[in-house]
Amino acid sequence: MKTIGLALLALGSSLGVSHGQTACANLRPPTIPGATILRTEAREVLNYHTGGFEAAANGCVINTWLTHGNSGDEVLVRIWLPLQGRHEWNGYLNGIGGARFSAGECTERVSFAEATPANLARLGYASVCTDAGVGHIQPGNTITWAHNQQLLRNFAYLSVHEMTVIAKAIANDYFGRPPSHSFFFGVGRGGQQGYIAAERYPKDFDGILADGAYVDYARTGMASFWPYLVQHDRGFVDRCSLNAIAEAAIRQCGGFESPDCPGFDAQSLANTVYMCPGGRRVTITAYDASVWTSLHEGPFGNGSYGTHHAIIDSEWATEPPNRSFFTSQYITDFLLNDPDYDYSNIDQDQYMTLWEQSVAEWTAIWGTNTDLAAFRARGGKFWAIHNRGDDIVPVSVAVDHLERLRDVFSQAELNDFYRLTIRPQAYHRGYWYWDFEPRGDLASLINWVVSGTAPSV
Ligand SMILES: *[C@@H]1O[C@H](CO)[C@@H](O)[C@H](O)[C@H]1NC(C)=O
Ligand SMILES: *[C@@H]1O[C@H](CO)[C@@H](O)[C@H](O)[C@H]1NC(C)=O
């Protein structure tokens, strides 16, 4: 026993662990009020190759599982720390957000998803993510937690907070000092998590990057079903036709910079032939044009929750939603508590009733509000980014949210801590490890927090 102990000690010191710090394998989470730690695995991961990079990542990886009261939930918190002696820690912690109905994109055991925290470790960042106890995204998964109050709380806000408390304490134990600054980034669902973290736990993060955020999911979740509703009874329109009309609108209106396109009439393109990528020809029909207009104008016919220029890359606009299992799932699993519900019978009236139900019952769980005063007061910086042509989360939700913030904060106050950058680009954005090279958005956020220079793009 003694020999083994000495060998471990020697290994520890060769990797740069000094007095008062804890070796990777011995790291344990702190006590979390209201939660019980079930188990923890901590290990050194050497020469982890992140796809596309020659350089290997070396990390101290800590997986910990916790539960709350008698609820039976099992929440995974995964932390990657730059391995001492191999990578120098820059003092920063990053929380990584989720997507769709996943709480954290680094929890899936596929190499690409692992690439983000591993690459962050290679670049000197500590990072943390969680599965909120709801597991990975898969068809049929959400009904298992849609009506479990603990899992809903975990998913909507609690797990991101708890993972952050744990990661800060573990980084302190490992490096002998706490993070100098903590950040959070996410896209779509991850962006929503960023807003809710700033509202509910303003001390957790110094800077938050929310891209294509599901602001006010009680409404935007309903809006995701709109493309299906307008097409399912009369047929799904060829994506190429929709994009042909979108291209014409963009040309006529001076590109993606233009917020609106008054005077553009999709019907004027009816019966024209368009050459799709790959050489296929489509004839745009009057029906295609009417669907494009409905997607553009949204469920209220006034642009709210409509897809700007209605550019389409997502299967949920052009396929029955059982293919993408995300669009209908909110309605069947969360609102109706019936995963077998035949959503193809939902008509406009029922849709509007469901919309009201969603707002009444679910805003308290995953709505976003304007309670950012405490986040501003602690010096937090919030950067919202939205692609004008986001085909999944309409850009109008980000603009509406900024309008509501303007009712609460003066422009000078907003300049202090909040930016909405609308980029003249199409499609919903995904973050991958290459976004975190020194010149990426994360670097701009860090620069804003650390040196006070707000991002200019
Ligand atoms: C569109 O109509 C809805 C429902 O009446 C309303 O809540 C929303 O504020 C309107 N949006 C705009 C941009 O006028
Ligand atoms: C989706 O639903 C359609 C009918 O709306 C059905 O024909 C198709 O087989 C379903 N696909 C899957 C993957 O369940």
Place of tokens 């055991």: 109
Which numbered atom of ligand 1 lies nearest the CA of 396? 13
Q: Check pocket membership of 300 for ligand 1, CB cut-off 6 A.
A: yes
**What pLDDT, in 10s, does the model give residues 299-332?**
999 989 988 776 766 665 666 655 556 788 899 9
d(CA 154, CA 199): 15
Tokens for 163, please give them: 């993972």
Which protein residue's CA is at the shortest distance from atom 4 of ligand 1?
300
Which numbered atom of ligand 1 lies nearest the CA of 303? 13
Which protein residue's CA is at the shortest distance from atom 5 of ligand 1?
300
d(CA 94, CA 168): 10
Which numbered atom of ligand 2 lies nearest the CA of 344? 5
Which protein residue's CA is at the shortest distance from atom 8 of ligand 1?
304
Tokens for 231, please give them: 């097409």
Q: What is the pLDDT of residue 49?
A: 76
Ligand 1 mean position, distance from CA 302 (Å)? 6
**What pLDDT, in 10s, does the model give residues 369-407?**
999 999 999 999 999 999 888 888 989 999 999 999 999
At residue 71, the 3 state secondary structure works out as coil
Tokens for 10, please give them: 């020697």
Q: What is the pLDDT of residue 80?
A: 94
> Which residues have any ligand 2 atom within 6 Å of their CB?
320, 322-323, 344
Ligand number with the minimum distance to the CA of 394: 1
Is the domain 7-216+368-451 a CATH 3.20.20.70 member? no
Tokens for 142, please give them: 């959400």
Where the chain has pLDDT below 70, the residues are 1-20, 50-54, 106-115, 137-140, 259, 310, 312-325, 430-439
Which protein residue's CA is at the shortest distance from atom 13 of ligand 1?
304
| Ligand 1 pocket: which of 304, 308, 358, 407 to mutate (most atoms within 8 A of CB) | 304
Q: What is the pLDDT of residue 5?
A: 38
Tokens for 411, please give them: 């422009």
Question: What is the Cβ-side half-sphere exposure of residue 152, based on CA atoms within 13 angstroms?
Answer: 15
| Ligand 1 pocket: which of 222, 297, 302 to mutate (most atoms within 8 A of CB) | 302
Ligand number with the minimum distance to the CA of 399: 1
Q: 127, 67, 137: which is closest to 98 by C-alpha?
A: 137
Ligand number with the minimum distance to the CA of 323: 2
Q: Check pocket membership of 304 for ligand 1, CB cut-off 6 A.
A: yes
| Ligand 2 pocket: which of 236, 322, 327, 340 to mutate (most atoms within 8 A of CB) | 322
Question: Between the CA of residue 247 and those of 108, 212, 288, what are the distances in Å?
Answer: 36, 21, 14
d(CA 108, CA 119): 15
Q: What is the pLDDT of residue 337?
A: 96
Ligand number with the minimum distance to the CA of 344: 2
Q: Check pocket membership of 303 for ligand 1, CB cut-off 6 A.
A: yes
Which numbered atom of ligand 2 lies nearest the CA of 232? 5
Domain spans of the chain?
7-216+368-451, 233-319
Ligand 1 mean position, distance from CA 276 (Å)? 35
Which protein residue's CA is at the shortest distance from atom 3 of ligand 2?
320
- How many residues are given for the chain? 457
